Every structure is written in structure tokens, then in C-alpha cells.
Amino acid sequence: ASTAKIYIAASNQYTLFVNGQQIGSGNNFQLGGAFCVQAPTLAPGCNDFAVSVVNNLVPDPGLLVHVDMIYQNGQTGTFVTDNTWRSFTSVPSGFELPGFDISKWPGVFGAGASSVYGSAPWGAILIPQPTVPTFSLADATWIWTNEVSGGSAPVGLRAFRKTISLGNGVVASSISVTIAADNEYTLWVQGQQIGSGTDFNVGQTYNLNPIPTGPELLPSAIVIAVEATNQGGPAGLIAVVNVFLSNGCGSVISVVTDGTWKSSTTVPNDFQIPNFGDSNWPNAIIEGQYGVGPWGNIAA
């Protein structure tokens, strides 16, 4: 699966897990929660959804879940709380982890006409739309190649790439990039040169609508490429990329510079083209969180 929109309410408190990761919680059965989960939290094959619930006696205990899925092949599906769910009267350690054995757990109570949505004692529930937080430059880390020693890096040009997977069937409508580099950078998005900068004290922002297109794009992905130049002393690259979606989670995928970006100590020809092969490039090295010296807080 590539996307799961999860709507949930419980009487009285719940904690939601997907594939062992805590996604959210709530403590008001009249106000449901809405969460959107994507890869890598979601796996391509089977996914485990788990909920721990605490009841305070009033009103009667209950759990209500509705999940809308978008699968890797672009198809969609829905599942809800019904009599296929399993339950247990305590919360065993590790119950939320994939592979936990629930074969001896009994089925759930309810799932009949008297427990459908809107029935007493719970009534109708207010459920907001799912949201995904948007990152800023302050959430990013400074990165470089593995050549930094004693706070200094060799003079010269270096290449960096980040492939942002959208998931099949998910469509991006616009992109915002804020970026800075010590000392210079040139930025490409989807293979097209977008801008450049020479002042690492200021993060430059580029808003792309529509998104660049071309014949060498990767399916269901956005590729960011940067050529960064160090003129001596410390070297670093920092950026935040917000990809706004017209479907899927319906909001945004936020990516920051971190150890998942690819780096190269050379700048190969056509490295900025989306389908360029960077699988053999090493991951970038994190130098420190935004605000770390010698750069400090930069204007954005």
C-alpha cells in the first residue's frame, strides 16, 4: 500500500499503531481522529493496524475505525471495524508489532445492528480531515560528503540527490523548496534547473506550480538534485522540500536534508536527470541540526 487515511474514535481513550509505529492518540469519543500514513511506514504487502483502548465506564466501551487505502497499483479499498477484528482484555507487550501472534485472540463483541455508526450511546462523531505536518528549514540538518575533517572540507564541487516517492496513484500539484549551501549551490527539480545561490546566511525559496515535466521522469517520484561548491573551510547543504498533493493524503509530503540523501565527491554528467542511477552513491553525512555552528540560524 502507498497511502492509508485512518479515521478513528474510541470510548474513551485510544492509541493507534501502524506496523509497530505509534501514529496518534485521542481521549474524546465525540471527536474522532484522522491520520494519513504513507511509505515507508506502510509496507508494499501486508500491513498491521493495532489499537489500544482504555474505557472509563461511561459511556459503554467501543472502538470505531474506517480506513481508506491507496495501493501500489493505483487501486483503492476500504476496511472498517467489524467482526473480522480480534481483541484481547489486556494489552500484551509488543502487541502492536507486525507478526505478533493473535491466532488465539477472540473476536470482537458487537458489529451488529445495535452497534453501527450513530447508534446509542455514542451517537454521531465529529471527525476532521487527516493532516500531515509541513516541515520548515528549522527541521532540516546540514549535510555534506564524507570528506569533512576537523570542521573543514576540500575545495570543489559535490553532487547531491534525493528521490521522493509519492506512491502509485498519488499526484503532486506543486513543490516548494527552501535551500542554502556553504558556499554555493545550483538546484534542479525533475531535471530542470530552478535556481542558484551564493549566500549561506539566507535560505532561498522556490515555489514551483506547475511542476517541471520531461521525458526522463521517474514514475510516481520527485527528484531533487543539487550541485554544491565549497570554497574552503566548512561546507554544508541544508534544504526543506514540501511536495503538495492533489490526492493521496491530500496535503503534503515534507522532506529535509538528512542522512537519506545521496552524495558524490564528483559531479557526473547528467547527474541532475531524474532517471540517473545513484544507487551506488553513498548516503550524505549529517553535520548537525539547523542552528548548529558555524552557520547558526539563517534567514529564510
pLDDT at residue 150 tops 70: yes
191: left (phi over 0), alpha (psi -120 to 50) or beta: left
Span 43-72, pLDDT tens digits: 888 999 999 999 887 678 889 999 998 887
- Grid cell, residue 97, equals 508489532
pLDDT at residue 176 tops 50: yes
Helices (H) and strands (E) in the chain, counts: 0, 18
Q: Is the pTM of the predicted complex or chain greater than 0.75?
A: no
For range 267-290, the mean pLDDT:
97
Q: Which domains does the chain have, with CATH numbers?
A: 3-114 (2.60.120.260), 137-289 (2.60.120.260)
Span 189-237, pLDDT tens digits: 999 999 999 999 999 999 999 898 877 788 789 999 999 999 999 999 9
Portion of the chain with pLDDT greater than 90, in percent: 64
For range 101-109, the mean pLDDT:
91
CA–CA gap between residue 283 and residue 264 (Å, rounded)? 9
User: In this predicted structure, what is the pLDDT of residue 255?
Assistant: 94
Cβ neighbours of residue 24 closer than 8 Å, sequence gap 6 or more: 8, 15, 16, 33, 35
User: In this predicted structure, what is the pLDDT of residue 114?
Assistant: 52
